[in-house]
Amino acid sequence: MAKLTIRVEDRVGTISPMVYGHFAEHLGRCIYEGLWVGEGSPIPNTRGVRADTASALRRLGAPVLRWPGGCFADDYHWRDGIGPRDARPRRVNLWWHDEESNHFGTHEFIELCRQTGAEPYICLNVGSGTPDEAAAWVEYCNWAGATARSAERGANGSPEPFRVRYWGVGNENWGCGGRFAPDDYAREYRRFACYLQGRSSTPIELIACGHTTPDWNRRFLETLGDMRMLDHLSVHRYYNCGHAVEFTDTEYYNLYPRALQVENDIVDAANTLAVFNRTGRKLGVIVDEWGVWHPEARNDNGLWQRNTLRDALVAAAVFDAFNRHADVVTMANIAQTINVLQCIAQTDGEKTWLTPTCHAFELYKGHMGNASVRVELDDVPAADARKADGAAVQLPILSASASVSPDSKRLILTVQNLHLKEPCELEVRLRNAAAGKAAAKVLTAGDVRDHNGPDAPNKVRPKRFELAAKRGALHATLPPHSLLSIEAELR
């Protein structure tokens, strides 16, 4: 029997709610059709925002939404997306080989955030923009006084400032965001950051573009010098192995180490920040794009792919990694919330269905804002797997994380049996506390390749799960390829 001990007193840090965040780009059917249908659409909407997908985000308590890209951000000029919609210019959507109507712009984005409850996170254009254009956008959104730009916002229907707190200074600036060398980006970053802070009436936080190669981060921070100009450093992590639905058992196991590479990305970025940070302030690591990118998601289909139970389980293992590093991870944003890559919902005309990944978010949402506590796993069998570079690894078949509510009255444990064929008997014990009344939900399906679709929207969904309590411990038999979420009173 596998044993899991929760060290209730051994706190890692507060799990920032922002870790369960989302990302939406002008790409494929993410914005248009996925989130925005316009007021005149027969698809139910509230002031143009698609009602069913907005409600899915609201149900998850979506804490933050990153926009407008992605690669799109560094070719986006925000003035194109304000003012009367029918007068907005139609442009080329460079990176996604499409045309952009600009019907969804800053005001529509803020409307979407208000309807879903998400904090807005705007990514600025560094690659093809100027510091002046970026600073003007901050002022347009956040200035509470009576400047020409805040008056223009008022004239466009929003006298109250938008109070956007999170601002990304470019996206993937080592690639589609201008193909900068790290030191050139550092100089550019400094120039942009210099003009942003003072344009907002409310506090803002700046996010610099990092990389999964630690050398980029080191060279960027070395050249930047002044760490007061930055609040967070971001990295992106995508992965795949085999196809979206057709994959072998070996490919299933091999996907885990590829996804969990994100843990090394986080540790590397945090360590590099620690070397240069002399500010006494905490600087965070943000994973503002992550998820599985199957070969089926291509430019010509708007990066659309099927999302199976496997994707949800692997996402859960990534959530566990975020929880384990709650002391440094300040935000994460799955790519991309609707219809694109590892999304939480997909649409086909009027029809919408939730993906298994949405249900994984649901089972983890109780962790938001809790204190992450250490978990020990013993007597856990392992499966053979290989990393992306071919190196053999032993993959423990259990992945878990636990957290305690701010009032220390509730515990949440998420635990996954990732074995494809074998159930796993588990005993859960608490150190320095006892569990009272507990309830659990399980996410699993007959086959790990199962997924939801327009004709079977609920094939994969969470169900209630019965736990047993024996001699001060909780007992559960986790089905193969399943994810369990347990909420218990703490005594």
Contacting residues toward ligand AHR, per CB under 6 A: 25, 69-71, 171-172, 289, 335-336, 341
Strands 473-478 and 424-431: antiparallel
Q: At what angle do helices 309-324 and 249-259 cross, to 10 degrees?
A: 30
- Nearest distance, CB of residue 238 and ligand AHR, angstroms: 7
Nearer to ligand AHR, 358 or 371 (CB): 358
The closest of 197, 193, 202 to 226, measured between CA atoms, is: 193
Q: Smaller CB distance to ligand AHR: residue 232 or 419?
A: 232
> Nearest approach, Cβ of 480 to ligand AHR (angstroms)?
31
At 52, which amino acid appears? D
Using the minimum distance from each CB to ligand AHR, give the nearer residue, 71 or 316. 71
Report angle CA 234, 237, 238 to the nearest 5 degrees: 145
> Closer to ligand AHR at the Cβ: 61 or 175?
175
Strand-pair category, 232-239 with 205-209: parallel
What is the C-alpha to C-alpha distance for residues 184 and 188, in angstroms, rounded to an integer? 6
| CA-based end-to-end distance of the chain | 25
Nearest-CA neighbor of 385 among 364, 374, 399, 400?
A: 399
Count of C-beta atoms within a 10 Å radius of residue 203: 10
Shortest Cβ 93–ligand AHR spacing (Å): 11
Nearest approach, Cβ of residue 256 and ligand AHR (Å): 21
Rounded to whole angstroms, how far apart are CA atoms 421 and 479?
9
Residues 472/434, Cβ–Cβ less than 8 Å: yes
Min separation Cβ 288 and ligand AHR, Å = 9
Nearest 10 degrees: Cα torsion 134, 139, 142, 146: -170
AA letter at 304: W
In 3-state terms, what secondary structure has residue 436? strand
Q: Rounded to whole angstroms, how far apart are CA atoms 57 and 218?
A: 36
How far does CA 277 lie from the centroid of its chain? 25
Which residue has tokens 């899991």? 4
Nearer to ligand AHR, 172 or 268 (CB): 172
Q: Give the nearest distance from C-beta 27 to ligand AHR in angstroms.
A: 6
Contact 206, 226 (CB under 8 A): no
Question: Which residue in the block uniquely carries the two structure tokens 């392992």?
Answer: 382
Cβ proximity to ligand AHR: between 176 and 413 the closer is: 176
Take residue 299 and report the two structure tokens written for it.
């430019």
Most distant CA pair in the chain, distance: 70
Least distance between ligand AHR and beta carbon 381 (Å)? 35
Candidates 25, 108, 188, 289; catalytic one:
289
Residue 39 among the catalytic residues: no
| Whether 100 contacts 401, CB under 8 Å | no
Toward ligand AHR, which CB reaches closer, 95 or 364?
A: 95
Pick the closer one to ligand AHR by CB: 126 or 341.
Answer: 341
Report how far residue 470's alpha carbon sits from residue 264's, in angstroms, rounded to the nearest whole number. 38
- Ramachandran sector of residue 379 (left: φ over 0; alpha: ψ -120 to 50; beta: rest): left
Structure tokens at 343: 């999304």
Q: Is 222 labeled as catalytic in the residue annotation?
A: no
Tokens of 353: 């269905």
- Give 7 or 91: the residue with its C-beta nearer to ligand AHR: 91
Q: Report the nearest approach of ligand AHR to the CB of residue 336 (Å).
A: 6
Cβ of residue 340: shortest distance to ligand AHR, in angstroms? Answer: 7
Find the residue with minimal CB distance to ligand AHR: 70
Q: Which one from 172, 188, 205, 362 is the annotated catalytic residue?
A: 172
Catalytic positions:
172, 289
